[in-house]
A = this chain, B = another copy of it.
Amino acid sequence: MTVSIGVLGTGRIGVMHAELIAQRIPGARLAGIYDVMPESSSKLAERLGCKTFTSPAELMSSDEVDAIAICTSTNTHVDLLVMASNYRKPTFCEKPVSLTLSETDRALRAVSESKTPVMMGFNRRFDPAHRAVRDRVADGTLGEVHLVRITSRDPAPPPLEYAKVSGGIFVDMTIHDFDMARYVTGSEIVQVYAIGDLRIVPSFKEANDLDTVALTLVHANGAITQIDNSRQAVYGYDQRVEAFGSKGLAASENPYSHTALVRSDKGTAHTTIPYFFLERYIPSYLAEWNEFLSVVNGSKPSVGVADGRASLVAGLAAWKSYHEQRPVKTNEIS
């Protein structure tokens, strides 16, 4: 049976999700969309052949909507999750839940008490290559996991205005890597050490933000994770995960945009790697939506609000570590 999904928010990521639901997920249907800017949503609705709603409540309460996708700006996530809990409809929510723990906990309570199935949009878990790394830990191929290395580098920095409200690099960017570290090791983060600098966009000083950071995590099971992030890798969206254990190593490497190479007397040239998430991670979004369909049909989400909370704690611990220049236990954050 086809699942009808209503999408809240039609910014860049919302448009992408609406298109995927409308066009590329067999078993899903785009029931309708809502955006705080009606003109943007009505154009999209026309293009994708769906209706528009005039408020989140109208969308959530509609009989035509089986499930909800929250793709609005971060500061609205908690209210919308609470509202969705009232309707008990299966809900997909983009990360992060919130920039504060207390708000995150408010969402977590509402969702738990209502037993609403909520899946958080940590799409990288669904990337076939990163997932294969995790699977080789989970199935014992690598033995005990000792070290994890994660590199995430964006092709270009976001606008300063974004940095001012995003929670900063540890919350807007590293949050994916905290989630990946938990996902790959299967173990909670107990300590965070973080340093960083402004090397690319000096203006981010105004937002008290960083653009180049390096972190060292300790997990409950003893594994150590090293993360590095940059807001600007001129060669493209650099996304790599490596797990090392007593029996070997698994690693996801960057793909190339295509597989042609050229050899000359100067050496061998390959093409570029994918530029950014639209070029790199569509397969992960498709897999994410396929899992969400299972959630709608009764499966437990593999990644929920509690996971969003754990990564936020790590992000806040990272900022504390950076400011206090010492390793910080995650249980110091509350």
**What is the interface of chain A, defined by CB distance below 8 A to chain B?**
22-24, 49, 127-130, 132-133, 136, 141-142, 144, 146-147, 149, 151, 153, 193, 195-197, 199-200, 212, 214, 216, 218, 222, 224, 226, 228, 230, 232-236, 238, 244, 246-273, 325-327
Contacts and interface: CB of A to CB of B under 8 A. Distances in A.
Contact of A149 (B149, B193, B252, B326): B149
B195 A216 contact: yes
A274 to B, nearest CB: 11
B250 A262 contact: yes
A133 B104 CA distance: 44
A136 B271 CA distance: 13
A23 B26 CA distance: 12
Main secondary structure of the interface of A (DSSP, over half): mixed
A258 B280 CA distance: 11
A98 to B, nearest CB: 29
B254 A259 contact: yes
21 contacts: A23-B23, A128-B257, A128-B258, A128-B260, A146-B199, A146-B212, A147-B230, A149-B149, A193-B193, A193-B327, A195-B224, A195-B327, A199-B246, A214-B226, A232-B246, A234-B247, A235-B249, A235-B264, A254-B259, A269-B270, A270-B270
A3 to B, nearest CB: 15
